[in-house]
């Protein structure tokens, strides 16, 4: 998955055999809502690609 706001990349794992927690997952970099979860499955996210920050060094 990729955050549409900052382009951070995430790996998403879903366990259909286990119930999870209802709620939302927000981007760890920019706090943008990535996914709303209903709690019917257990979902885990891992940040795999952190977007670069602009460099102002000359």
Under 8 Å between Cβ of 26 and 1: no
Q: Tell me, what's the pLDDT at 13?
A: 97
The owner of tokens 């706090």 is: 31
Q: Tell me, what's the pLDDT at 58?
A: 56
Cβ-in-10-Å burial (0-12, 13-18, 19+) of 42 comes to middle
Q: Tell me, what's the pLDDT at 36?
A: 97
Question: Smallest Cα–Cα separation from 11: which of 38, 47, 42?
Answer: 47
pTM equals 0.78
* pLDDT digits 0-9 by tens, 20-52: 999 999 999 999 999 999 999 999 999 999 988
User: At residue 36, what are phi and psi to the nearest 5 degrees?
Assistant: -100, 135
Q: Tell me, what's the pLDDT at 52?
A: 80
């Amino acid at each position: 998955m990729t955050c549409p706001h900052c382009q951070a990349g995430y790996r998403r794992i879903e366990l259909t055999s286990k119930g999870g927690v209802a709620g939302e997952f927000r981007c760890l970099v920019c706090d943008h809502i990535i996914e709303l979860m209903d709690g019917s499955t257990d979902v885990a996210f891992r940040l795999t690609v952190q977007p670069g920050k602009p460099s102002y060094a000359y």
